[in-house]
Amino acid sequence: MQDHRVGFRLSENLFMTRTLMNFETLMTRSIRSTRQLLLVMCLAIGTMAALPERCASGQDLTPKQKQAVKIIATNIDRAGKQYKSKKFEASAKYIRDAMAQIDALATTASPELMKLLEPEYERLAKAHKLLTDSGQKLGVLKELPIPMTGGELVSFKKSVAPILIAKCGNCHVTRNRGDFSAATFEALDKSTMLAYGLPDDSRLIQVIESGEMPKGGAKIEPKELAILRAWMKQGAKFDGDNPRQPLGELTGTPAPPNRNRQRIEPKMPTGKETVSFGLHVAPILLNNCAQCHINNNPRSNFSMANFRDLLRGGDGGTPFESGKSAESAIVKRLRGDGVDVMPPRGKLDDKDINVIAKWIDEGGAFDGPNSQMETQLVAATVKAGSQTHAELAADREVLANETWKLVMSDVESTALMGKNFVVTGSTTESRLTDVKRLCEKLAPKIASSLRTDTKQPLVKGNISIFVFDKRYDFSEFGKMVEKLDFPKEVSGHWGYTIIDAYSTILMTRNQKAEDVQISLAHQIASLHVASLASDMPRWFADGMGLWTARKILSREDDMKTIDSRAEAAAAKMIKPDDFVTNEMPADKAALVSYLFIKRLRSNSSAFGKLMKGIEGGAGFQTSFKAAYGGTPSELLGQKRKKR
């Protein structure tokens, strides 16, 4: 359609000014509902948008045709006023009149008359939807036909291909979603989507009219659908030079970028929410949607593997809009609201659907540690954070058994429960008992050294201790659980997430528990420090663990040489913060961290401020900067590169 917005005559500018003034007057009055406001806006904007077309298109029109279009516009304007006054039936009567009048004109409309009718039809369509949503029965709004004069054919190149690119490009022009490609006319011709001469039998027309396509938020406008129907009725002919030429090259307009891949930042909780994504929503998705949407080839290109993927959506566009569950695609799918219900095996319980809807209405916030963390891990992490010590300890006991089976599937184990620990291993029960007693003996000493309440559990949910008497089995734990190859000089390793807290120790058959107490003390103390903040870096927990082991076991021979060994490790660093940035082996990094902890503790005031901030919930990074005036790397003299 030609744009005539440039070069208005003085009289036209005056009409526009008056229209704006009238609209401003309407806006300043009391408009009691959002629907009223929307309709007033639609009608006013439609009038302004239609003005240039009216002024520019009437050269070949008869006075009678011009008057008919004016009556249609007047009826739509009157409908808007009645709607504003909440007189919906009266408003509907004017819209019915306008529908009948526009139908009568459209049957024999010339291209000039059609141009004049198009903006009125768009206003009519908007008013029709608002009134229908309000419960008024208006009947089906017929499409505005494409005028044909002198045997004129609809051009695939100029008219059809641009619609396919703009509205279907993401899924069927640049890709082959659902085994349907419209990348070229030849591909479209070979598909089952066309019915030459029979638009009602065309699968392409059917999926558009049903609302099934296009997905991703795009919409085929009535005039675009009319173009497609007319082209189909004329035999779906190709008027280009090469049917194998990509549509983008044929029209000179490449397909738009995939809007679904835009980066959307998750909303953080305000603290007022009653529904948690991790605690309530994620488990529902994992139990009911994982088979189709948490795999390597998610259905409809919609992955729920992590929250960021969930936000992006798939071929159907963004799955939810914060605060608007009734308008969100995921809720409509779950309820079967005008679309096929999901999951395919059957509708979920209303209780579960209402949980998801409530979460969306409360903002759709993400309360996990990281939006790129696996959904299953997010659910487990948030659950662990909400559990009591006893509840988490019970879950960790089960997890310890599962971990053992993962590493030693063909070896039976013995598990012993203690106050702060569950000790698991394949060695004799008496040896495991010795380890458990030693760990329980070390726990209060570690707590006292770190000035922790000795009456409280050292780590919420307790610590799992895995004991191996063969290096091969110990190494297998590293490969299966940590995805690491433990060096030969390493005989202990610890790991912490809020879900799990474990220590693994190699205690060969010729050793007793006291022979590995330094490693145990180091790991137990490190786990306690790691549990103090969600952003606690491993190097700090490791260094504090060694410092604590050195303090309570200072008479042991290995502890007497720890400083010299730490200095030797530090001398091999390339940058002064290699141990902070995980650029050296874990066992060597722990030794250098121990030296740095000693340096930090030498300023007792700053170190006290650091620990007070951490224990107060401020987090490690914030507390460290507040206490020492910079980051660890800056304190070490290593300036970080700006990204």
Lowest mean pLDDT among 13-22, 186-195, 339-348, 571-580: 13-22
pLDDT at 60: 60
Closest CA to 434 of 493, 514, 365: 514
pLDDT at 10: 31
pLDDT of residue 570: 94
Confidence at 146, pLDDT banded by 50, 70, 90: low
Answer whether residue 541 is part of any domain.
no
Q: Model confidence over 541-576: pLDDT tens digits?
A: 999 999 999 999 999 998 999 999 999 999 999 999
Q: Are residues 371 and 400 in the same domain?
A: no
Q: Are residues 248 and 295 in the same domain?
A: no
User: What is the tens place of the pLDDT at every residue in 375-417?
Assistant: 988 998 899 989 999 999 999 999 999 999 999 988 889 999 9
pLDDT band at 454; cut points 50, 70, 90: low
Same domain, 112 and 17: yes
Could you tell me the two tokens for 71? 């009556």
**Amino acid, single-letter form, for residue 366:** F
Determine, yes or no, domain membership for 470.
yes
Distance CA 600, CA 558 (A): 23
Token duo for residue 4: 């005539």
If pLDDT is split at 50, 70 and 90, which confidence band does 142 have? confident
Predicted confidence at residue 639, as pLDDT, reads 54
User: What is the pLDDT averaged over residues 93-99?
Assistant: 90
First to last CA, the chain: 47
Q: Which are the contacts of 182, defined by CB distance < 8 A and separation ≥ 6? A: 164, 168, 172, 173, 188, 191, 193, 247
Q: How far is Cα 36 from Cα 52, in angstroms, rounded to an integer? A: 26
Pick left, alpha or beta for residue 548 (phi over 0 → left; psi -120 to 50 → alpha; otherwise beta): alpha
- Examine the domain organization and report whether 353 and 419 are in the same domain: no
Q: 246-270: per-residue pLDDT in tens?
A: 887 877 765 555 444 445 678 889 9
Final residue in a domain of this structure, among 254, 287, 317: 254
pLDDT at position 218: 65
Mean pLDDT confidence for 361-381: 90
The predicted pLDDT at position 531 comes to 93
Q: End of a domain among 206, 239, 254? A: 254
Residue with more model confidence, 175 or 239: 239
User: Is residue 631 very low, low, confident or very high in pLDDT (cuts 50, 70, 90)?
Assistant: very high
Q: Report yes or no on 264 lying in a domain.
A: no
Helix (H) or strand (E) holding 540: helix 538-552
pLDDT at position 144: 66
Domain co-membership, 197 together with 250: yes
- Using the predicted structure, report yes or no on whether residue 190 has a pLDDT greater than 90: no
| Distance of alpha carbon 333 from alpha carbon 409, whole angstroms | 42
Residues 215 and 115 in one domain: no
Whether residues 398 and 378 share a domain: the answer is no
Contact between 40 and 127 under an 8 Å Cβ cutoff? The reply is no
313 sits in the region (left: phi over 0; alpha: psi -120 to 50; else beta) called left
Per the structure, the count of domains in the chain is 5
Least confident of 125-129, 443-447, 607-611: 125-129
Of 58 and 347, more confident: 347
Q: What share of the chain in percent tops pLDDT 70?
A: 84
Pairing of β 414-417 and β 421-425: antiparallel
**pLDDT, tens digit (0-9, with 9 covering 90-100), for 3-25:** 333 332 333 343 333 333 343 33
Look at residue 460 and give its three-state secondary structure.
Answer: coil
Burial category of 2 from C-beta neighbours within 10 Å (exposed 0-12, middle 13-18, buried 19 and up): exposed
| CB-based contact 307:366 (threshold 8 Å) | yes
Say which residues have a Cβ less than 8 Å from residue 269's Cβ, sequence separation at least 6. Answer: 276, 363, 365, 366, 367
Looking at the fold, whether 166 and 249 belong to one and the same domain comes out as yes
Q: Which residue has the tokens 């650029």?
A: 583
Residue 451, pLDDT score: 81
DSSP 8-state symbol, 317? B
Dist CA 610 CA 623 (whole Å): 5
- Residues 453-467, mean pLDDT to the nearest whole number: 89
Pairwise CA distance, residues 79 & 89, whole Å: 9
Q: Based on the fold, state whether residues 356 and 391 are members of the same structural domain.
A: no
- Is 140 within the bounds of a domain? no
Domain limit, last residue, from 364, 382, 400? 382
Residue 47 resides in a domain: yes
Could you read off the pLDDT of 423-442 as tens digits, one per residue?
A: 999 899 999 999 999 999 99
Domain for residue 550, yes or no?
A: no
Residue 54 has pLDDT above 80, yes or no: no
Give residue 626's domain range.
561-643
pLDDT value, residue 281: 94
- Determine the Cα–Cα distance for residues 189 and 316; give it in Å rounded to an integer: 25
pLDDT at 25: 37
51-69 mean pLDDT: 60
SS3 (DSSP) at 494:
strand
pLDDT surpasses 70 at 27? no
Greater model confidence, 168 or 414: 414
pLDDT above 50: residue 619? yes
Side chain identity, residue 491: S
Once rounded to an integer, what is the mean pLDDT over residues 36-50? 41
Distance (Å, rounded) from C-alpha 104 to C-alpha 577? 80
Would you say residue 193 lies in a domain? yes
Q: Tell me the pLDDT tens digit for each residue of 216-256.
A: 556 788 888 888 888 888 888 888 888 888 887 877 765 55
What mean pLDDT, rounded, does the chain reach? 82
* 408 and 304 belong to one structural domain: no
* 249 and 285 part of one domain: no
pTM: 0.57
Give the number of other Cβ atoms within 10 Å of residue 367's Cβ: 23
Note whether residue 94 is domain-resident. yes
Contacts 24+ apart (CB under 8 A), 293-302: 294/375, 294/376, 300/177, 300/215, 301/177, 301/260
Domain match, 73 and 89 both: yes
